[in-house]
Structure 1
Amino acid sequence: MISIGVQTKNVVYDSDPAAGYEMLKKAGFSCADFSLNSYLPNFSLYQLERNDFFDRSEAELEQHFLPHKKGAEAAGIVINQMHMPYPVYVPNGGTVLNEYLWNIVARKSMYICAFFQCPYIVVHGFKLAYNLGSEEMEWAQTEKFLDSLAPLAKELHIMVCVENLYNSIGGHLVEGPCCNAGKMAERIDRFNARHRGELLGFCFDTGHANLVGSDFESFLTTLGHRLKVLHIHDNDGVGDLHQIPFTFTKTRENTASTDWSGFIKGLKRIHFDRVLSFETAPVLSSFPQEMKEQVLRFIADTGGYFCKCLSPFPEKTGQSL
């Protein structure tokens, strides 16, 4: 049965996590994407800086997140997916930083995921195609990282999911890691066969796909059963804005800038029955604080609309998908 989820970022805070989860429930969500990446921000890592959050022991981290776990359970919110801090490899970061990300942050993220009994953790592949000379060599480095996590993933019963990314070259947005659905389907199958378990899956990010002009229906159909989680958000085709679906149009006639029709068709073709998870945290800081609950309800209602479109017997709607 399809459920609706959203990021915890900008809703759930360490100071009173129970209140945040209760807000999500009241807004109409039953699942949450736990924003673990907010504890070690990407903008700091790209500036070669890091904090000491993941220096804590596993027991200390569990103690820190226990109120979150209890708050989610009390509100009836299932933490169905989690985002590992990223990047897990900084091209100009040097050995000390990159070994810390690989050996400390990544592994402790896996234990936190298991603590929440969360089945999926999303990671970013290494952006190294232009450093190494080819996409194949880039994937080889990402796969080496994933291979190192595979035994732990199997032990903790967690599936690691890679997602389609974009890259910025000379001021232009281009395809980044994991943007070829055919290659990714083959790679995921080979990885799982080699490790004798379903340890690697895929996260489809609608905003990233829109930025690089991916064919949504074809991409999703090619992935098939390998698609485990979603990052649903919208943009203008120029910036990674993480806004509410249907927010941007190409023309004054209101043709959506994102291929939501292809998105629904692709999900229907593969009989997607998991969580429609929205990655729309920036929206909540662009609206006035007093409107946060209303905005969350609107996002949840958008998820409800998608659910109706994915139903075998969809109701008539004003929007044609």
Structure 2
Amino acid sequence: MDIVCSTVGIVNTFRPGQGILDIANAGFENISLDLDMSCPAYELEHYGRLKKKAEEWEHLKEYTYLPISEHPSEIQRYFEKMLFVSGEKHLNLPFAMAPYLPRDSKRRDLKELLLSLHKESIRFCGRIGCRYLVIRPMTNVSGGREASSSLSVACNVYGSEWEVNRDYYLCLAAEARQNQVILLLENQCHSMNGHMIRGICSDGYIVAEWIDALNREVGEERFGFCMDVGVCSLCGQDMHEFSRVLGKRIKAVILRDCDGQQEGSMLPFTCAYSGQPRTDWLNLIRGLRETGFDGQLVLDFRDTACTFSPILRPQLMVFAKAVADYFKWQIEIENLLKKYSSIALFGAGNMCRNYMKCYGEKYPPLFTCDNNQKVWGTEFCGLEVKSPEALKEVPEGCGIFICNIYYREIEQQLRDMGIENIEFFNDEYMPSFHFDRLRTV
């Protein structure tokens, strides 16, 4: 799994040095390119109107960069400085977002313009070695057929929206193949009377059919899916079920938090009410873990980044990297268990119980230990409870998993004892829970 940092809200494309430096110094190795930065949704929505205004405003003649909507081939030039600086910092660019219309766009006459922009985006990705490009599905674009309401897709897998999108994506397939780019569809939402509701590609079963049908037609795996967590949260979707249905078709996940009512891109865990998260991280992690997700984990926290002073930005970036690492660790926790030839636990409480319930049969520990002398020599969940000193006698290559919320305190204790291969186990996002109260010993 690759952790990818979105550059939106962090990097100024005209003077990218400081933003790229903050990203690199925080430990990120991959960044994403949002090509919308060069051709904003606003510009596309007002295509044909802005040109008239530009003729009226003399000062616009001094602009260095031509409007990308008028000159799609200028995309690479727009990002030249950013590409150069990111190359100096050895940052990879595995993921990009193509320009897109606003979610509730009323324009139905821009198919040819979008096709030109998206083909140029694919070529650009090919030139810079970017493997994944998100191209949002068409919802309000007519091209020989009338586009239907996005609600109708829930009733008919191969309705008019499928026909419009099938034709459109197949027009891009040859370009994508030539440039070795995987095209990703993305789940959408739209507003109805001020409420965000599910839009096109928000039904897992339907979008799975779409992706499979497109790949069959092109004879290879050229299409996949990008799961936008923010959209799922806005629409109240069960992300566990959504992930499970799409499975390996999910090539990228955009991690962003919001209040569940309005669009937002905040750092995960920062949007909460009464001590509870507004985003269902539990079912997201469960779903991605169950499907063995190993694609691009894209951290988009532009709104959080913009609210912080540039002076505090370096510290924010370090914390953001820690948050992304935490998600990767949670999703790949079983890979961590597989890493060791044997396992011993520290802790004889509920977390140990949850480990045994979820992983005890597949990855049986040698024993568990605890600082409470009263439980030494007893049995807990089928494990012998020993003194921490017993950890000095474990076989070479044995992983010691701390099953107790006082992680850092216990970790220091074990390091002082000369113990190696110390890992944390966490039961916040397990496949199931076991909340039986412990019998007082």
TM-score of the pair, normalised by structure 1 = 0.89
Quick one: distance in 1 between partners of 2:3 and 2:95? 12
Per the alignment, do residues 132 and 207 of structure 1 end up closer, same or farther by CA in structure 2, a change over 3 Å counting? closer
The percent identity for this pair of structures is 24
Per the alignment, do residues 255 and 19 of structure 1 end up closer, same or farther by CA in structure 2, a change over 3 Å counting? closer
Number of the residue aligned with 2:35: 36
AA aligned to 2:25 is K
Quick one: distance in 1 between partners of 2:195 and 2:72? 41
- Give the SS at the match of 1:79: strand
Q: Residue by residue, what CA displacement relative to the aligned partner does 1:64-106 show, whole Å, maximum 9, x if unpaired?
A: 43433332222121111101010299864353x442222x211
Quick one: distance in 2 between partners of 1:176 and 1:90? 10
- 1:114-125 matches, within 5 Å, as 114-125=126-137
CA drift of 1:122 comes to: 0.6
1:315 matches 2:424: yes
Quick one: distance in 1 between partners of 2:17 and 2:103? 33
Number of the residue aligned with 2:320: 299
Bigger Rg over Cα: 2
1:172 matches 2:195: yes
Quick one: distance in 2 between partners of 1:287 and 1:18? 18
Per the alignment, do residues 11 and 249 of structure 1 end up closer, same or farther by CA in structure 2, a change over 3 Å counting? closer
- 1:106-185 matches, within 5 Å, as 106-128=118-140, 131=149, 134-135=152-153, 136-185=159-208
Q: Give ranges in structure 1 of 5+ residues lacking alignment.
A: none
Per the alignment, do residues 276 and 177 of structure 1 end up closer, same or farther by CA in structure 2, a change over 3 Å counting? same
Higher relative contact order (CA 8 A, sep 6+): 1
- Give the SS at the match of 1:289: coil
Per the alignment, do residues 133 and 28 of structure 1 end up closer, same or farther by CA in structure 2, a change over 3 Å counting? closer
Quick one: distance in 2 between partners of 1:89 and 1:139? 18
Per the alignment, do residues 91 and 307 of structure 1 end up closer, same or farther by CA in structure 2, a change over 3 Å counting? closer
TM-score of the pair, normalised by structure 2 = 0.66
AA aligned to 1:134 is S
- 1:282-293 matches, within 5 Å, as 282-293=303-314
Quick one: distance in 2 between partners of 1:87 and 1:185? 23
1:264 matches 2:285: yes
Number of the residue aligned with 1:93: 107
Number of the residue aligned with 1:83: 97
Per the alignment, do residues 20 and 115 of structure 1 end up closer, same or farther by CA in structure 2, a change over 3 Å counting? farther
Number of the residue aligned with 1:278: 299
Instruction: Identify which of 33, 52, 59 aligns with 2:67.
Output: 52
Check the 8 A contact 1:127/1:167 in 2, yes or no. no
Check the 8 A contact 1:46/1:90 in 2, yes or no. no
Check the 8 A contact 2:38/2:75 in 1, yes or no. no
Quick one: distance in 2 between partners of 1:319 and 1:10? 31
Check the 8 A contact 2:104/2:191 in 1, yes or no. no
Quick one: distance in 2 between partners of 1:87 and 1:25? 31
Q: Give ranges in structure 2 of 5+ residues lacking alignment.
A: 51-65, 141-146, 154-158, 338-422, 431-441
Quick one: distance in 1 between partners of 2:201 and 2:102? 15
Please identify which structure carries the higher helix content.
1
After superposing the two structures, state which structure 1 stretch, 30-39 or 68-77, moved more: 68-77
1:70 matches 2:84: yes
Quick one: distance in 1 between partners of 2:151 and 2:257? 31
- Give the SS at the match of 1:229: strand
Per the alignment, do residues 89 and 195 of structure 1 end up closer, same or farther by CA in structure 2, a change over 3 Å counting? farther
AA aligned to 1:83 is M
Quick one: distance in 2 between partners of 1:258 and 1:89? 21
- Give the SS at the match of 1:118: coil
AA aligned to 2:130 is C
- Give the SS at the match of 1:81: strand
Quick one: distance in 2 between partners of 1:294 and 1:127? 40
1:223 matches 2:249: no
Per the alignment, do residues 132 and 233 of structure 1 end up closer, same or farther by CA in structure 2, a change over 3 Å counting? closer
Number of the residue aligned with 1:193: 216
Quick one: distance in 2 between partners of 1:90 and 1:318? 40
Number of matched pairs: 315
